[in-house]
């Protein structure tokens, strides 16, 4: 079957939406894990493992008595306690173009957040959202609980 | 009967869910012992936290946050113990310095390679960043290229010691992530560096 290259690419992009977002590279990785933690990605739920890369758009979900810890590219850290749900809405760390963005949604549960290089270089680019508030960070460590 | 109970319970939690989504934010010292600042905002207002253990409770998105209170260690532990235990160790950072306009390491920095390999092995890390940085003397494009070459050279040294190259990502931050901020055109040896971050 002969097909023009751009058509192939178009079809690939339709089949795998992640591909169409350019060179989608990991924004961090899972470093600690307890219990059956799930990563919700493109309509699928994937069992998490240590070292697993995470991407923009992922939702991390911990079970009762489970937990997970993530280190992002700028060395910021977010860990999740039991029955917690974190959505990585947007994450950009491109110091050479001075592009920074970290938009996280803490949907429910308990969290530890430690700021990284983005907190130093561009603190205004960090936004942590909960269903009832927006948290603006000035380079620090904090604990967040969201009751559903 | 069991089914009816279930419905009642989920209705209650649904109502509770609509009504509140209570958020609690507690400021604590970071791994270096530094206490930063955090502003918690709702449609109704903002509450600033700036002291260790200071906490704010937000009942809903409309009303202003409650005034800040203080949480003791015991309370913090009981609320956040599991999340705190899941906190990964802070990544280890090594900074390597180079001769001017060269990919050759300064002698002290060359000795750090052994330590880097030790850290990678000890942490069983498969997430290692090798980032080149430059100062602001010379052309942007030239600096970007030079710091990328420096990063590639360091990666080569690490791979030579038996670390799988798939675990290593190299990048150039060019002039965009300095240790010592300077105006453009300034030569600053502390900014001419490669940072190796072992996660």
- A contact residues 19-38, partner B, Cβ 8 Å cutoff: 29, 31-32, 34
Contacts of B35 in chain A (CB under 8 A): 140
Contact A82 B21 (CB under 8 A): no
A1 has pLDDT over 50: no
Sign of the C-alpha dihedral computed for residues A115, A118, A119 and A120 taken in this order: positive
Long-range contacts from B139-146, C-beta under 8 angstroms, 24+ separation: B140/B174, B140/B175, B143/B174, B143/B175, B144/A96, B144/B172, B144/B174, B145/B172, B146/B101, B146/B103
Instruction: Search chain B and give the residue with CA nearest A143.
Output: B26
**Per-residue confidence (pLDDT) for residue A5, from 0 to 100:** 54
Mean pLDDT (10-residue bins), chain B, 199 residues? 40 46 94 92 95 95 94 96 94 92 91 95 88 86 88 96 93 86 88 92
Chain A touched by B141 (CB under 8 Å): no
Q: How many CB atoms lie within 10 A of CB B48?
A: 16
A138 has pLDDT over 90: no
Where does residue B180 rank: exposed (0-12), middle (13-18), buried (19+ CB within 10 A)?
exposed
- Whose CA is closest to A106, among A40, A43, A42, A61? A61
Banded model confidence at residue A143, pLDDT cuts 50, 70, 90: very high
Return the ∠ at Cα A137 (arms to A132 and A139), rounded to 5°. 155
Tell me the CB-side half-sphere exposure of residue B19, using CA atoms within 13 A: 6
**Per-residue confidence (pLDDT) for residue B127, from 0 to 100:** 86
**Per-residue confidence (pLDDT) for residue B101, from 0 to 100:** 84
**Per-residue confidence (pLDDT) for residue B177, from 0 to 100:** 84
Contacts of A65 in chain B (CB under 8 A): 82
Whose tokens are 């799930």? That residue is A38
Question: How many Å apart are CA B143 and CA A100, to the nearest integer?
Answer: 21
Instruction: Search chain B and give the residue with CA nearest A126.
Output: B38
Q: Average the pLDDT over each of A13-17, A43-47, B21-25 and give the range with the smallest value.
A: A13-17
- Three-state SS annotation for B10-65: HHHHHHHHHHCCCEEEEEECCCCCCCCEEEEEECCEEEEECCCCEEEEECCCCCCC
Cβ(A89)–Cβ(A50) below 8 Å: no
What is the β-pairing status of strands B193-198 and B92-97? antiparallel
Scored b (16 or more CB within 10 A) or e, A63-84 reads eeebbbbbbbbbbbbbbbbbbb
Q: How many CB atoms lie within 10 A of CB B86?
A: 28
Question: How many Å apart are CA A36 and CA B177, to the nearest integer?
Answer: 38
A6 has pLDDT over 80: no
Q: Among A69, A145, A148, select the one facing B88 at the smallest CB separation.
A: A69
- Whose CA is closest to A29, among A47, A43, A49? A49
Please name every residue paired with B197 in a beta bridge, in sequence order, or none if there are none: B93, B129
Distance from CA of B38 to the nearest CA of A (A): 5
**Per-residue confidence (pLDDT) for residue A99, from 0 to 100:** 94
- Whose CA is closest to B155, among B174, B173, B139, B171? B171
Question: How many Å apart are CA B21 and CA B16, to the nearest integer?
Answer: 8
pLDDT in tens, A56-77: 999 999 999 999 999 999 999 9
Structure tokens at A109: 């549960």
* Domains of chain B from N-terminus onward: 18-85 (no CATH), 92-198 (3.30.1330.60)
**Per-residue confidence (pLDDT) for residue B84, from 0 to 100:** 97
Chain A touched by B177 (CB under 8 Å): yes
Whose tokens are 């240590």? That residue is A50
Contact B85 A67 (CB under 8 A): yes
Q: How many CB atoms lie within 10 A of CB B19?
A: 10
Question: How many Å apart are CA A148 and CA B15, to the nearest integer?
Answer: 10
pTM listed for this prediction: 0.79
**Per-residue confidence (pLDDT) for residue B13, from 0 to 100:** 40
Contacts of B25 in chain A (CB under 8 A): 133, 135, 142-144
Distance from CA of B106 to the nearest CA of A (A): 24
């Amino acid at each position: 079957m002969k097909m023009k290259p751009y058509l192939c690419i178009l079809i690939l992009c339709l089949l795998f939406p992640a591909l169409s977002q350019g060179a989608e590279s990991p924004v961090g990785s899972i470093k600690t894990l307890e219990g059956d933690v799930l990563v919700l990605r493109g309509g699928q739920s994937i069992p998490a493992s240590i070292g697993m890369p995470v991407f923009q758009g992922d939702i991390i979900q911990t079970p009762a008595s489970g937990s997970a810890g993530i280190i992002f590219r700028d060395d910021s850290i977010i860990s999740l306690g039991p029955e917690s749900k974190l959505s990585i809405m947007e994450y950009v760390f491109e110091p050479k173009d001075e592009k920074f963005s970290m938009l996280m949604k803490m949907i429910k549960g308990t969290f530890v957040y430690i700021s990284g290089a983005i907190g130093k270089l561009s603190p205004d680019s960090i936004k942590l959202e909960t269903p009832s508030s927006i948290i603006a960070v000035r380079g620090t460590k904090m604990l967040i609980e969201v009751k559903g | 009967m069991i089914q009816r109970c279930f419905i009642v319970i989920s209705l209650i939690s649904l109502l509770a869910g609509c009504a509140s989504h209570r958020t609690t934010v507690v400021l604590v010292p970071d791994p270096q012992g530094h206490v930063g600042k955090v502003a918690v905002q709702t449609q109704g207002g903002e509450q600033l936290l700036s002291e260790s253990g200071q906490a704010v409770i937000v009942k809903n998105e409309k009303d202003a946050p409650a005034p800040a209170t203080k949480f003791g260690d015991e309370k913090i532990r009981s609320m956040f113990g599991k999340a705190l235990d899941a906190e990964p160790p802070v990544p280890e950072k090594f900074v390597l310095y180079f001769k001017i306009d060269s990919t050759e390491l300064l002698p002290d920095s060359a000795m750090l390679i052994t330590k880097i390999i030790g850290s990678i092995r000890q942490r069983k890390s498969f997430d290692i960043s090798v980032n080149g940085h430059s100062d602001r003397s010379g052309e942007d494009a030239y600096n970007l290229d030079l710091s990328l070459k420096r990063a590639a050279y360091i990666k080569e040294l690490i791979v030579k010691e038996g670390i799988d190259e798939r675990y290593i990502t190299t990048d150039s931050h060019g002039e965009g992530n300095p240790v010592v901020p300077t105006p453009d055109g300034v030569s600053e040896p502390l900014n001419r560096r490669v940072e190796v971050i072992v996660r």
